[in-house]
Chains A and B, each alone.
Chain A
Amino acid sequence: MAAIGLVLGGILGWAAIKLRVQDDPLVEKIDAILPQTQCGQCGFAGCKPYAEAIAKGEADINLCPPGGAEGVKNLAELLGVDAKPLGEGVEPKPKSVAVIDENTCIGCTLCIQACPVDAIVGAAKQLHVIVAAQCTGCELCLPPCPVDCIGMQVIKEDVVTWKWRYPIHMMKRAA
Chain B
Amino acid sequence: MSRKLYTFNGGVHPDGHKAMSNGTPIRAMTLLPRYIVPLRQHIGTPARPLVAAGDTVLRGQTIGAADGYVSTAVHAPTSGRVVAVEPRAVPHPSGMFDLAVVIESDGADRAIEFQPLDWRNLDPSALRNRVRDMGLAGLGGAVFPSYIKLNPGGQKIHTLILNGAECEPWITCDDRLMRERAPELVRGIEIMRHALGSETVLIGIEDNKPEAIAALRAAAPAGMEVIAVPTRYPGGGGKQLTYSLTGVETPAGGRSTDVGIQVFNVGTAYSLYRAVELGEPMISRVATITGHVAQPGNFEVRVGTPLSDLVAAAGGALAGASGELIGGPMMGFDLRDSDAPVTKAVNCLIVKNPRLFPAKPIELPCIRCGACAQACPADLQPFEMYWYSRAKDFGRAQSYNLFDCIECGCCSYVCPSHIPLVDYFRFSKSEIWEREREKRSADQARVRHEFKVFRLEREKQDKAEKFAKAAEKSRESAASNAVTPADPDAEKKKAILQAALDRAQKTKETVTPKNTENLTSGVQKEIDAIEARRAKVEEKTESHE
Are A and B in contact, CB atoms below 8 Å, in the complex?
yes
Enumerate chain A interface residues (CB-CB to B < 8 A). 31, 34-38, 46-48, 103-104, 106-108, 115-119, 125, 133-134, 136, 143, 146-147, 157-159, 161-167, 169-171, 174
A156's nearest neighbour on chain B, judged by CB, is B96
CA distance A170 to B40 in the complex (A): 35
B449 near A38 with CB under 8 A, answer yes
Docked complex: B122-159 residues within 8 A CB-CB of A: none
B504 near A146 with CB under 8 A, answer yes
A116 near B362 with CB under 8 A, answer no
CA distance A119 to B444 in the complex (A): 11
CA distance A20 to B433 in the complex (A): 36
Neighbouring A residues of B430 by C-beta, 8 Å? 162-164
A103 near B511 with CB under 8 A, answer yes
Asked if A117 meets B363 with Cβ closer than 8 Å, knowing A143-B541, A146-B504, the reply is no
CA distance A117 to B501 in the complex (A): 26
CA distance A38 to B448 in the complex (A): 10
B504 near A166 with CB under 8 A, answer no
Among A108, A117, A134, A169, which residue has the most Cβ atoms of chain B within 10 A? A117
Neighbouring A residues of B463 by C-beta, 8 Å? none
A171's nearest neighbour on chain B, judged by CB, is B363
B511's nearest neighbour on chain A, judged by CB, is A103
CA distance A118 to B449 in the complex (A): 7
CA distance A106 to B429 in the complex (A): 45
CA distance A171 to B445 in the complex (A): 43
A106 near B427 with CB under 8 A, answer no
A38 near B445 with CB under 8 A, answer yes
Asked if A161 meets B444 with Cβ closer than 8 Å, knowing A107-B500, A170-B362, the reply is no
B431 near A146 with CB under 8 A, answer no
CA distance A161 to B444 in the complex (A): 19
Q: How many A-B residue pairs have CB under 8 A?
A: 105
B446 near A164 with CB under 8 A, answer no
A33's nearest neighbour on chain B, judged by CB, is B442
A159 near B92 with CB under 8 A, answer yes
Number of B residues near A (Cβ < 8 Å) is: 47
Extra contacts besides A147-B505, A167-B420 (19): CB < 8 Å: A34-B442, A35-B438, A36-B445, A38-B445, A104-B512, A108-B497, A115-B452, A117-B445, A117-B448, A119-B448, A134-B444, A143-B541, A157-B96, A159-B98, A162-B94, A162-B430, A163-B427, A164-B429, A166-B392
Neighbouring A residues of B444 by C-beta, 8 Å? 134
Asked if A159 meets B94 with Cβ closer than 8 Å, knowing A104-B511, A143-B541, A146-B504, the reply is yes
* Nearest CB on A from B434, distance (A): 6
Neighbouring B residues of A38 by C-beta, 8 Å? 445, 449
Instruction: Point out the residue from A35, A104, A158, A164 that lies within 8 Å of B96, measured CB to CB.
Output: A158
B430's nearest neighbour on chain A, judged by CB, is A163
A163 near B431 with CB under 8 A, answer yes
A36 near B442 with CB under 8 A, answer yes
A106 near B541 with CB under 8 A, answer no
Interface status of B357 (Cβ within 8 A of chain A): no
Neighbouring B residues of A167 by C-beta, 8 Å? 363, 420, 423-424, 427
Interface status of B451 (Cβ within 8 A of chain A): yes
Enumerate chain B interface residues (CB-CB to A < 8 A). 40, 90, 92-94, 96, 98, 362-365, 392, 420, 423-424, 426-427, 429-431, 433-434, 437-438, 441-446, 448-453, 497, 500-501, 503-505, 507-508, 511-512, 541
Instruction: Point out the residue from A108, A116, A158 that lies within 8 Å of B452, measured CB to CB.
Output: A116
* Nearest CB on B from A104, distance (A): 6
B434 near A163 with CB under 8 A, answer yes
A37's nearest neighbour on chain B, judged by CB, is B445
Interface of A is mostly: loop
B503 near A106 with CB under 8 A, answer yes
A159 near B434 with CB under 8 A, answer no
Neighbouring B residues of A108 by C-beta, 8 Å? 497, 500-501
A125 near B500 with CB under 8 A, answer yes
Neighbouring B residues of A143 by C-beta, 8 Å? 541
CA distance A158 to B40 in the complex (A): 12
B445 near A169 with CB under 8 A, answer no
Neighbouring A residues of B438 by C-beta, 8 Å? 35
| Interchain residue pairs with CB less than 8 A apart (23) | A36-B441, A36-B445, A37-B445, A38-B449, A103-B507, A108-B500, A115-B452, A125-B500, A136-B441, A146-B501, A146-B504, A147-B505, A147-B508, A158-B96, A158-B98, A159-B94, A159-B96, A163-B431, A163-B433, A163-B434, A164-B93, A167-B423, A171-B364
Neighbouring A residues of B434 by C-beta, 8 Å? 161, 163
Instruction: Point out the residue from B427, B443, B504, B541 that lies within 8 Å of A36, measured CB to CB.
Output: B443
A104 near B423 with CB under 8 A, answer no
**Nearest 8 A/B pairs, CB to CB:** A163-B430, A164-B426, A36-B442, A36-B445, A117-B448, A106-B504, A167-B423, A162-B94
Neighbouring A residues of B453 by C-beta, 8 Å? 46
B96 near A162 with CB under 8 A, answer yes
CA distance A146 to B507 in the complex (A): 14
Neighbouring A residues of B541 by C-beta, 8 Å? 143
A36 near B96 with CB under 8 A, answer no
Among A31, A36, A161, which residue has the most Cβ atoms of chain B within 10 A? A36
B427 near A166 with CB under 8 A, answer yes
B424 near A106 with CB under 8 A, answer no
Neighbouring A residues of B40 by C-beta, 8 Å? 159
Neighbouring B residues of A171 by C-beta, 8 Å? 362-365
CA distance A146 to B365 in the complex (A): 60
CA distance A103 to B504 in the complex (A): 9
